[in-house]
Amino acid sequence: MEEEQVNPAPDQEPDKEEFSSMSRLLFPLFVIFILVMGAGAFFIGAQRRIQPSPTPTATVEATPTQEPTPTASPEATESPSPSPSPTPTLSPTPTPLS
């Protein structure tokens, strides 16, 4: 009987070469990507150190107050009430005599 020699499949060798060439290409790209991300994080951290972000603490804001008006006669100041309605005049009612 003849023994058949088992040769490695010819497809396996190009796959290994293809994988090694791809890893040779991807490894530097991965390193560059990591460096760029680290530089971006460092830059953002440096910017926040210069201008700190506002913290969510309660702040007291000045509210405008009414300006003090000089003392004036009551006729000069207007009343804050809505439009004045005419007051009815009271007439004396006659009392019935019994």
At 26-69, the pLDDT tens digits run: 999 999 999 999 999 999 988 877 665 666 676 667 777 776 66
Give pTM, 2 decimals. Answer: 0.33
Q: Which residues of 5-38 are buried (b: 16+ CB within 10 A; e: fewer)?
A: eeeeeeeeeeeeeeeeeeeeeeeeeeeeeeeeee
